[in-house]
Amino acid sequence: MKIIGTGSAIPSKVVTNEMLASFLDTNDEWITTRTGIKTRRLRSTETLVDLAVSASRSAIESANIQPDEIDFCICSNVANNYVTPALSCIVQQHIGSHAPCFDLNGACAGFLDAMSVAEALLKTNRAKNILIVCAEEPSRFCNWKRRETSILFGDGAGAVVVTKGNDLKSLRLTTVPNRDVIVYQRRMENTPFEVPGVDITEPLIMNGREVFRMAVESSQRDLRLVIEEAGLTPDKIDLYLLHQANQRIIKSIQEHLAQPAYKFPTNIERMGNTSSASIPILIDELYSSGKLKKGDMLALSAFGAGFVTGAAVLRWSK
């Protein structure tokens, strides 16, 4: 596999910590020191479909191909207001592609899941050019009366086009089943046979401290394993592109790996946690600003509800 195109789209609305402090019992100092987040982008006039389509179009343009040359489309999404059809079908209708497509929900690690599926499709000759689009609106499953979760997230979409190649050096996915550490239950229609109280739905609930602990432990373990599997050592990695969940999580992983801070680019301070879109948005930002050089060795790592994790080592050749 190799990445031949990148794209991203973020909402126009910039929401500062001060804006949140106007209706939540929180403040800029707490949010900045505990998370590193200063602003996030939240949907206001745009829909998630708008963001997903825009990121996909940019990635296809960046790949120098036409939409009808996409022969598979994978969309990573945790939740959106379309239960069916899949978001990937709606995106394809807008961009003019008729490729087979499906959505996957790998929580915040969905980009790594999509890369894993894409690699299998490429290796078995089922596709030549695959669009991966990670489109997320976590702001819509937070309880906006609760400061513990609503300050963390941002909305956005990141996309890549991948094709055959030898850039993916290693990839690892894991699951440690744990329903409670991060959970969001969506409301569904009641049937006349529903026993009241059986199906309780509630906005996002998270055990932040436990997620923090699991994130640091699993990410640094996964990174060591994929780096070793790629025949490298942590020193040989040029950039670590980590899921943007908390600046302190990123710093802690950096310290565990004994690597310099400059190898860990971030957008958490501007974007908040954009779930599975965070790594592809970061990749697009770095590529667009000339910060990815041909031959750079990248280590990717993400974690999320499940509890799921994913990590990979990828050579950059675009």
Interface residues with ligand UT7 (CB under 6 A)?
26, 30-31, 34-35, 108, 147-148, 151, 182, 206, 208-209, 211-212, 215, 245-246, 273, 304
Of 33 and 93, nearer to ligand UT7 (C-beta) is 33
Question: For this structure, is 108 an active site residue?
Answer: yes
Marked catalytic residue, from 73, 101, 243, 246: 243
CA atoms within 13 A on the CB side of 212: 12
Marked catalytic residue, from 108, 134, 142, 246: 108
Q: Which residue is nearest to ligand UT7 (CB)?
A: 208
Nearest 5°: phi and psi at 304? -175, -170
Please, what is the minimum distance in Å from the beta carbon of residue 109 to ligand UT7?
A: 9
Question: For this structure, is 134 an active site residue?
Answer: no
Q: Which amino acid is at 256?
A: H
Question: For this structure, is 243 an active site residue?
Answer: yes
Identify the DSSP state of 64: T
* Burial call 98-119: b when 16+ CB within 10 Å, e when fewer: ebebebbbbbbbbbbbbbbbbb
Of 142 and 171, nearer to ligand UT7 (C-beta) is 142
Measured distance CA(311)–CA(170) in Å, rounded = 8
Marked catalytic residue, from 17, 80, 267, 273: 273
Please, what is the minimum distance in Å from the beta carbon of residue 278 to ligand UT7?
A: 8
Of 11 and 110, nearer to ligand UT7 (C-beta) is 110
Q: Which residues pair with 175 in a beta bridge?
A: 308
Please, what is the minimum distance in Å from the beta carbon of residue 303 to ligand UT7?
A: 7
Measured distance CA(114)–CA(266) in Å, rounded = 21
The residue behind tokens 């529903």 is: 194
Of 51 and 215, nearer to ligand UT7 (C-beta) is 215
Measured distance CA(131)–CA(113) in Å, rounded = 13
Which are the catalytic amino acids?
108, 243, 273
